[in-house]
Structure 1
Amino acid sequence: MSASSAGTRHLSSAVPLAALFIGLVMYASLYPFTDWRWPAGASLTELLALPMPERRLRFDVWSNLIGYMPMGALLFLACVRSQVRSWPAWWLAVTLPALVSYTMEVTQQFLPVRVPSQLDLMLNAAGGVLGALLAVAAHRMSVLALWQRVRDRWFVRRSANTLVLMAVWPFGLLFPTPFTFGLGLGWERVLAGLNELLLDVPRAQDLLELLNDVPVSGDRYPAMLEGLGITLGFLGPCLLAFSVTLPGWRRVALALSAAVLGLAASTLSATLSFGPAHALSWMSPVLLPGLAVGLVLALMCMGAGFRLVAALGIAVVCAQVMLVAQAPADPFFALTLQAWEQGRFIRFHGLAQWVGWLWPYLALVSLFGRIASRWD
């Protein structure tokens, strides 16, 4: 009997992943949360009866269909992995995405920048059904049992939250970063948010003046600092993964996978922003050296204990957060950011940016939890 099957069964990573995905979909559906108003001349009955669009872009059709597939799949997996029978799990997996979509579409009518429609609802509901069908097929083919065996042989107990962070890390890289793998909050963004929040608060004006006097570099990071940021940005996720992964070759496989996924996510971000012809325009001369150093340092930790890896991870993530906080926005970063904030990715803007902003801090919570945990 495996360690994870003895005693209390550990939480499935599908449970927090499903909850996280639903929350992120709701956030993306209502972003940017401004200019709420009751639609002029619309009755409650008209609001509940969603309109059909006159025309719809192909990108919107596919994004609405595919965007809800993970929700249906994760809901079914979360249920069956929590010992819920297949039929109740199926009905929840196909009805909850439709209910979430309908609620979001109705609510979007109070936001001038959003365009709700019956077509979006039907596509979202269909996406949930397709995702649930894929999950059912995986369940019938014993893919879940295979994953359980892999998890038992690769990861320690009570690793669900860390596995979720590992899974969403590439998604955070889709939003423009000041340097490759540089997740976290930049000082300019923090300052802009504080100014917007406290501008009309008389007692906060002295604090705002003090914060606005903090110098921010307008020049691009020197090559050495940018390379260091790339190294730390890659090493942090590796050490987070190592904190719940059994020592040895498994950690080597995870480090190599992180390198591939990180590069792929950054390439996809540039492709979505500027087209396939500019898919590699984000690469800098220090990318490969910085990544190589990070990979070597990660492999040096392949045999380290869980708490030592977690402690090293805390130091690395903190250093990376400090670099991101002071990183100046180079012209390419500003151009990419503008493409996301003003282009067709407005619906994914808030979703991806919050993952990228919060990931390092959630990783720190997980790493501190590994140090305090008695489970190895």
Structure 2
Amino acid sequence: MARRSGTTALPLSAAFALLIVYATLYPFSGWRWPPGQSLESLLVLPWAQYYIAFDLWANFIGYMPLGALLYGAGVRSGWRWWWALLAAALLPGLMSYTLELIQNFLPERVPSREDWLLNGGGGVVGALLAAALQALGAIRGWQTLRDRWFIPASAGALTLLLLWPLGLLFPTPVPLGLGQCWDEVRELALLALEDTPWAAAVEPWLRPLLPESTPLSRPTEMLAIALGLLGPCLVAFAVMRSRARRAVLALLVLALALAVSALSTALNFGPEHALAWLTPATVPGLVLGLLAAWGCSLLPRRMAAAVGLIVLTALVAVVAQAPDNPYYAQSLQAWAQGRFIRFHGLARWIGWLWPYAAGLWLLLRIGARDDA
């Protein structure tokens, strides 16, 4: 009997819920009990004092994918469609209400009854749309396509592949160069150890070895770009059935990388600069990465996972040597002054953590049974 494949909707639902929590409670600072409020009064959400059209649409649309993903996760987990629809319709509203209550304890956030109703309504509409798609056979068609292209144990890889373009929305030190987070980790560690007995002993180990990073040479930058393209390809190859389809998927990954990188540059610096990320090393690096992906498409799945782990480790090591993106401060200021700052922070965290999450998944994949 063939083993039923895991559902990608379940990890995506969890990831999307975490992103909503981050966007709702950012910047997670200044926690205090709201002055003059009792516990009973906090349970009744107030009506908003003013309205912003963008916020109204964002609150509604932002919860629609969560409702759809929860419905898909329920159905793919074996639930009856009506139980899946009920859970997918109610859970986003319950989650939104809880987050609105927590916002009372953050001075920079303003809870409101409108936000809760719009969020819950978006979850209901998303669940209904997913149920309609299932009735039309779209979910069954996707499952057939997935079974044809991927092995049953592909949920983790597909989740990583769907998150990868989101990480590219945050400016990277080199194109496709995800994973540069050690400076931030170092600063967080120094801040956590401040005024402790261990600060003096640990601080020299946490300080950077070099005071300033030097720009990467053109060959090194080409290598980083090639590794950045090859990494997600090998994550996909580790769960793909057909070697011929791997070559097609590598082209799709390349097209996605081009589109998202152009979108990121346009969002940060204006549409007229959408192609400014195409440096003299970018095109050769992308070609090198594509050729390497086509070569690796012949590897067995377990070997592709092992090579992918090496590639992502090399990517993190190379990117760690790169200086900060020269336009980082400019882009961060632009985001911070606009209404997209919380979504920018989400992309930033995904870009930092994606290579490490993918590497951990590949490590587990190497030791797992290779499903037919």
TM class by shorter chain equals: over 0.9
| One-letter identity of the residue aligned with 1:369 | L
Counterparts of 2:360 and 2:31, CA distance in 1: 34
Match of 2:20 in 1: 25
**For residues 170-249 of structure 1, what are the structure 2 equivalents within 5 Å?**
170-249=165-244
User: 2:74 matched to 1:67?
Assistant: no
Q: Compare 105-114 and 58-67 and name the one that shifted more.
A: 58-67
Q: Compare 53-62 and 245-254 and name the one that shifted more.
A: 53-62
Match of 1:121 in 2: 116
Match of 1:87 in 2: 82
User: 2:18 matched to 1:35?
Assistant: no
Q: Provide, for residues 18-39 of structure 1, a one-character-per-residue CA deviation record: whole Å limited to 9, x for no partner.
A: 1221122112222222110011
**TM-superposed deviation, 1:176:** 2.1
**TM-superposed deviation, 1:315:** 1.0
- Which of these residues, 5, 11, 20, is aligned with residue 6 of structure 2? 11
**TM-superposed deviation, 1:342:** 4.9
Counterparts of 2:3 and 2:242, CA distance in 1: 24
Match of 2:282 in 1: 287
- Which of these residues, 314, 319, 326, is aligned with residue 314 of structure 2? 319
Partner-residue secondary structure (3-state), 1:217: coil
Counterparts of 1:283 and 1:41, CA distance in 2: 55
| One-letter identity of the residue aligned with 2:26 | Y
RMSD of aligned Cα (Å) = 1.8
Match of 1:356 in 2: 351
Q: Compare 258-267 and 83-92 and name the one that shifted more.
A: 258-267
Q: Provide, for residues 101-121 of structure 1, a one-character-per-residue CA deviation record: whole Å limited to 9, x for no partner.
A: 111111011111222222221
Counterparts of 1:77 and 1:59, CA distance in 2: 28
| One-letter identity of the residue aligned with 2:319 | V
Q: Would the aligned equivalents of 2:190 and 2:199 in 1 still touch at CA under 8 Å?
A: no
Partner-residue secondary structure (3-state), 2:327: helix
**TM-superposed deviation, 1:334:** 3.0
Q: TM-score, normalised by structure 1?
A: 0.93
**For residues 133-152 of structure 1, what are the structure 2 equivalents within 5 Å?**
133-152=128-147
Q: Would the aligned equivalents of 2:5 and 2:151 in 1 still touch at CA under 8 Å?
A: no
Q: Compare 290-299 and 129-138 and name the one that shifted more.
A: 129-138
Q: Provide, for residues 294-343 of structure 1, a one-character-per-residue CA deviation record: whole Å limited to 9, x for no partner.
A: 01110112221112211111111001011222221132133223333453
Counterparts of 2:167 and 2:188, CA distance in 1: 20
**TM-superposed deviation, 1:7:** 4.1
Counterparts of 2:268 and 2:59, CA distance in 1: 19
Match of 1:3 in 2: none
Match of 1:98 in 2: 93
**TM-superposed deviation, 1:179:** 1.4
User: 2:110 matched to 1:111?
Assistant: no
Q: Would the aligned equivalents of 1:219 and 1:330 in 2 still touch at CA under 8 Å?
A: no
When residues 246 and 217 of structure 1 are mapped into structure 2, their CA distance, relative to the original with a 3 A threshold, is farther
| One-letter identity of the residue aligned with 1:91 | L
Counterparts of 2:143 and 2:40, CA distance in 1: 48
Q: Compare 162-171 and 194-203 and name the one that shifted more.
A: 194-203
When residues 203 and 123 of structure 1 are mapped into structure 2, their CA distance, relative to the original with a 3 A threshold, is same
User: 2:158 matched to 1:163?
Assistant: yes
- Which of these residues, 271, 275, 280, is aligned with residue 270 of structure 2? 275
Q: Would the aligned equivalents of 1:156 and 1:246 in 2 still touch at CA under 8 Å?
A: yes
User: 2:260 matched to 1:265?
Assistant: yes
Counterparts of 1:111 and 1:282, CA distance in 2: 38
Aligned residue pairs total 371
**TM-superposed deviation, 1:146:** 1.1
- % same residue: 50
Counterparts of 2:365 and 2:162, CA distance in 1: 18
Match of 2:298 in 1: 303
**TM-superposed deviation, 1:371:** 1.4
Counterparts of 1:275 and 1:51, CA distance in 2: 38
Match of 2:324 in 1: 329
When residues 91 and 183 of structure 1 are mapped into structure 2, their CA distance, relative to the original with a 3 A threshold, is same
Structure 2 residue runs without a partner (length 5+): none
When residues 159 and 330 of structure 1 are mapped into structure 2, their CA distance, relative to the original with a 3 A threshold, is closer
| One-letter identity of the residue aligned with 1:290 | G
User: 2:148 matched to 1:153?
Assistant: yes
**TM-superposed deviation, 1:237:** 0.6
When residues 54 and 278 of structure 1 are mapped into structure 2, their CA distance, relative to the original with a 3 A threshold, is farther
Counterparts of 1:251 and 1:374, CA distance in 2: 21
**TM-superposed deviation, 1:99:** 0.7
Which contiguous aligned blocks of 4+ residues in structure 1 show a shift greater than 6 angstroms? Answer: none
| One-letter identity of the residue aligned with 1:72 | G
Structure 1 residue runs without a partner (length 5+): 1-5
